[in-house]
Structures are given as structure tokens and as C-alpha cells.
Structure 1
Amino acid sequence: MLSPVAVGVDGSPESLAAAEWAAREAVRRERPLRLLHVRNWHPRRGEAETAHAAERRRGRDVLRQAEERARTACPSVRAYDEQVEGPASAALVKAAADAELLVLGSRGLGRITGLLVGSVALEVVAGAGGPVVLVRADGTAAETRETDGGRRRDVVLGADVAQPCDEVIEFAFEAARVRRARLRVLYAWRAPDPLTLGPGEIGLVGDPERAEEWLRFLAAVLRMWRTKYSDVDVLETVAEGRPSGALLKAASGAELLVVGHRLTDRPRIVRTGPVTHAVLRRTACPVAVVPHY
């Protein structure tokens, strides 16, 4: 059996939006959809059996509602559901390991406050060995809208020219391919501080020349992937400034933002990195976090 697109659901509007997004992605990738509800129950003494039965019933209701949302969006999706015991973060990390990708909902708190990801979602993103996509309840409509020219909205990839990662790049190219969307690859660079330049370093090169040099580096990194995915339209861009700010600007109106997450050898440390954390908090479009070493 092909590994599924998995989605964690809990009955919230955000998880229902995630179920809809996951159903569309499962159909695109020709994968089954696994609807997963994690039970976190803490019964009082003497009420274990009653509480367990109530939690199972609630779980069935949650899964039924999520499946209805998924099938309404994609009637052809091949879906199945499952209930598992918590803790939620551990169960979802395990689900990510067995899935093509894992989809979770994120709660938005408005334009000023930004995006409240939640401790469970952050733990899953930090610990998952496979890609995790976070979806906002008010962001799924961007999936079906087109630009004025009739072209699908971009998939945006935040690239690291210094340490390019195959897993992250391939995920972004594949996401663009199955959507028939343009892939916009962005690298954000910072001008060197004249006070920190070492002997022999060129500090007098202007920003336009420096940007052209980074653009050539980015083109070299993507050359192999352009050949492999020759049917994907690619736009290579560089920007001076902080990576998080540049990505947030580029992702405005995008279908999907793809970023990498470097896994740590110290599993007890839950950390997503400053750039990933910033875009998860503030980006309205779905964000795919792809782990790598």
C-alpha cells in the first residue's frame, strides 16, 4: 500500500480545513488519505470505562465530520480513519514517519497577533522525520484561486545556497509539479559588515553585483532539479534582508510555502529554528516544513 497523506483532526475549524487541504493533496499525489484522531483522556478513578467509551464516541464524530469535509472537497479521495491513544505530539510524530506527509491545522489570531501554532504542532514539526504541512482555517481558499492571468498561484521555496538540501528542494519541485504551478525559489542574503571583513575579502562590491553573484549560485544549485522536473516553471529570485521577512513577503498570496528544518541529534530539544518559527507564526498560506540533517 502506498504511504498515505495523513491528517490529524480534533473537530476544530482548523483541523477541518487541514482535512480538506489533505484530501486535495492526496488526490494530486494519488495517495490514500488517513484521517487520524488522537485521544487524550484523563478519566477520574472509577470512571475509566465510561470515559473511554465517551472519548471513542467523540472520536468517531470528529472523524465522520472530517471525512465529510474531505469528501465534499474531493469526492474521489480514498479515505480511511483511525483513532489512537495520546500523547498527541508523540502519536502525530509517529504518524508522520509512516506518511507521505502529515497535515495539521493552525489557529490564526488576526493580522496583528499573527499565527498561534500551538505547542503540539510545534513539537510535531520539531520532531517529525517527514514533511509536516500546517494549514490555517482561513487560508485554504487560496488553493483554488487563480491570478489575473489565469495561472495558479506560486509554490514558494525558501532556499539555502550555502547548504542546499535535496529533500527540501525535491519536495518543493514535486509540490509545484502536481499543482501545475510555478515554483518561485527565493534566497535571502545579507551584505557583509565592513568591520568584519577578513584580509583579501572584497568589501567594495556593490549590492547589484552581489545579488547577481548569489543568483548565479542559486541557478547552479537548481540546475539538476530543473532537468529532472523539466515541466515545472521555475523563477529564481534573491533578496537582500532577513530570510524570514523576505519569505513572508514572497509567500503573500502563494499556494504553499516550503521551508527546511534541520533535525538535531538531541531529540529532547524541541526547536524549529528562527526562520521556520517566524513563518509558522505569521504566514497565512499553508506552510510545509521538510526535515533534513
Structure 2
Amino acid sequence: MLAPVVAGVDGSAEGLAAAEWAAHEAVRRGRSLRLLHARNRHPRRGEAEAAQAAGRRLARRVLRAAEERVLAVCPGVRVYDEQVEGPATAALVRAVGGAEPLVLGSRGHSRVTGLLMGSVALEVVAKAAGPVVLVRAGTAGEEAAGAGRRDVLLGVDVTEPCDEVIEFAFEAARLRHARVRALHAWRAPDPLIPGPGEVGPVSDPERAEEWLRFLSAVLRVWRDKYPDVEVLETVVAGKPASALVKAASGADLLVVGHRLTDRPRVPRTGPVTHTVIQRAGCPVAVVPHY
């Protein structure tokens, strides 16, 4: 059985946007949609059954509202729902293992709501072993308005390219009949100090051409694997996070990587991923890798 697309819902506008985006993604992938509501608490011993029942009724209303939203925009999607007890972070991280992918709502700019109160969204991204997509309110509706014709923006570090991240972006573009815009941002070295392999002064245009050759080499195998996906290779001078945020304003989806560590004593996202989650103007897919 194919793993479903999973959307975490909490009754907020962002949660509804996540459910709507996930519904479109489920249809594209030919999968079912699982709506998940995590009640961010554990019932205390001796707690009145009435209080527990009230919590379950509230969760039921949240799930019903999300299901109605989903069926209004994607009548053909196969949808089912589930409510679980326990801390939201743990429940959502567990859900990643059976999701293709997990979709959550986010306000960005460090402000999150409901299930994503405080640092939960960042904790889920930091701990998740599978892709997590963060969606803001107001962006999911663009799916039905032809947003799939826009680019899937892929952030690439040509010095450490990651197959999982690149493949996710190419597959997303194939499903959307969209173009992959692969972007690598480079920083110019001190003009008085030659860069690696340089024996004399090198101009910025020459460095840009060299980085573009590196990027083309990295993506060559993926062009061959996805011959029907158009690819635009772009290199820019500057900070990666700033370049991606700027380019994301015209994208349908931004795909970035998150490096997992073997000893995640304090799981956290890297600075680039952290910034684009907060500031990008389109949904952001964070793909973990080692």
C-alpha cells in the first residue's frame, strides 16, 4: 500500500492551508490523504472522562473542518482522519515515517500557531527522517490557479550535493509539469587571495562561469533521469539564504536540504533552512539527508 500524504491540522488558517496543499499533492501522487490532529497533552491519571470527551469533540470539529475544506477543493481525493494523544512534536515526527510527505502550516517569521506553537515546527523539521513541507495561509489556493506552471526552486550546494534533495525537486517538478530552477549561491573570496586552484586574480564573471559548470555537472545525471523536466541552472553571488528567499517569490515550491547528524543531542536546522522557513514566500520542502 502506498504511503499517504499526511497533513497536520489544528483548526488554524495555516493548518487548513496545509490540508489544502496536501490534498492537491495527494491527487498528483495518486495517494490518499491522512489528516492528523495531535492533542498536545497526555490525560492525567484520574482526569474526568468529561474533560477527555470534550477534547475529543474539539479534535473531531477540527478534523471535520479540514476534511470539508479538502473535499471542496479536491472532490476526488481519498481522505481519512485520525486524532492522537501526546506532545505534538513527537506525534508529528512519528507521522513522517509513514508520510509522502508530511505537510504542516506555518506563519513564518518565527510565528507559528496551534499545533506549531513555539518551536514545534522547527523541532519537527530538525528531527524528521523524511520530507516535511511547510505551507503558509494564502498560498495553497494558488495550486488551483495554475501555480503548477511555475518553477520548483532547488537550492544546491555544489560542494556537497545531495541526491535525496535533488530527486525530491525533480519529482515535484515532473508531477507539476513545471521547470526546476536550480540555484547555487557563491561567495567571492578576498580579492587579494586566490581561490582554490587559482594562480592569479580571477574576475567575478569568470568565477560565476566556473560555478555554473560545477552546477551543470552535478545535475547532468538528473537531466538524463528526468528528460521531460526543463532545468534552468542559476548561480548568484551572495548569501544562499538571501538568494533563495528572493528567488522563492516567483516559485511554486522551494526545496532545500537538512543535514541529519549521527549524534543529534540538540536537533536543529541549519542557518539557511531556518531562514527560508521563516521568510520564503512559497511552500518550503525540507528534505533530510546525511
Compute the TM-score of the two structures, normalised by the length of structure 2.
0.93
The 5-angstrom pairing of residues 6-21 of structure 1 reads 6-21=6-21
Cα contact 1:6–1:102 (8 A) shared by 2: yes
Task: For 2:204 and 2:281, locate their aligned partners in 1 and report how far apart those are by CA, in whole Å.
Answer: 31
The 5-angstrom pairing of residues 57-72 of structure 1 reads 57-72=57-72
Q: CA deviation at 1:12?
A: 0.6
Q: CA deviation at 1:194?
A: 4.0
The 5-angstrom pairing of residues 267-282 of structure 1 reads 267-282=264-279
Cα contact 1:142–1:285 (8 A) shared by 2: no
Is it true that 1:5 corresponds to 2:5 in the alignment?
A: yes
Task: For 2:212 and 2:136, locate their aligned partners in 1 and report how far apart those are by CA, in whole Å.
Answer: 32
**In structure 1, what is the equivalent of residue 31 of structure 2?**
31
- Deviation readout 1:182-212 (Å, 9 max, x if unpaired): 1100000011124654797435111111111
Query: C-alpha root-mean-square deviation of aligned residues, in Å?
Result: 1.9
Query: What runs of 5+ residues in structure 2 fail to find an aligned partner?
Result: 113-117
Partner SS, residue 49 of structure 2:
helix
- Deviation readout 1:236-272 (Å, 9 max, x if unpaired): 0000000001101111121100000001222331210
**In structure 2, what is the equivalent of residue 90 of structure 1?**
90
Q: Which runs of 4+ in 1 moved over 3 A?
A: 41-48, 144-147, 194-203
**In structure 2, what is the equivalent of residue 154 of structure 1?**
151
Cα contact 2:255–2:284 (8 A) shared by 1: yes
Partner SS, residue 177 of structure 1:
helix
Please, which of 84, 98, 116 is the counterpart of residue 111 of structure 2?
Answer: 116
Partner SS, residue 255 of structure 1:
strand
Cα contact 1:153–1:182 (8 A) shared by 2: yes
**In structure 2, what is the equivalent of residue 175 of structure 1?**
172
Task: For 1:66 and 1:196, locate their aligned partners in 2 and report how far apart those are by CA, in whole Å.
Answer: 57
Q: CA deviation at 1:143?
A: 2.6
| 1:235 partner amino acid | L
Cα contact 1:101–1:131 (8 A) shared by 2: yes
Cα contact 1:115–1:283 (8 A) shared by 2: no
**In structure 2, what is the equivalent of residue 216 of structure 1?**
213
Cα contact 1:261–1:291 (8 A) shared by 2: yes
| 1:104 partner amino acid | L
Partner SS, residue 116 of structure 1:
coil
Between 202-211 and 66-75, report the one with greater CA deviation. Answer: 202-211
Task: For 1:132 and 1:278, locate their aligned partners in 2 and report how far apart those are by CA, in whole Å.
Answer: 15
| 1:5 partner amino acid | V
Task: For 1:217 and 1:198, locate their aligned partners in 2 and report how far apart those are by CA, in whole Å.
Answer: 15
- Gap change, CA 1:152 and 1:137, over 3 Å in 2: same
Is it true that 1:184 corresponds to 2:186 in the alignment?
A: no
Task: For 1:53 and 1:178, locate their aligned partners in 2 and report how far apart those are by CA, in whole Å.
Answer: 42
**In structure 2, what is the equivalent of residue 284 of structure 1?**
281
- Deviation readout 1:83-125 (Å, 9 max, x if unpaired): 11121101100100111110000025xxxxx352441110000
**In structure 2, what is the equivalent of residue 111 of structure 1?**
none
Task: For 1:199 and 1:213, locate their aligned partners in 2 and report how far apart those are by CA, in whole Å.
Answer: 12
Cα contact 1:140–1:285 (8 A) shared by 2: no
Q: CA deviation at 1:49?
A: 1.6
Cα contact 1:41–1:55 (8 A) shared by 2: no
Task: For 2:30 and 2:175, locate their aligned partners in 1 and report how far apart those are by CA, in whole Å.
Answer: 10
Partner SS, residue 167 of structure 1:
helix
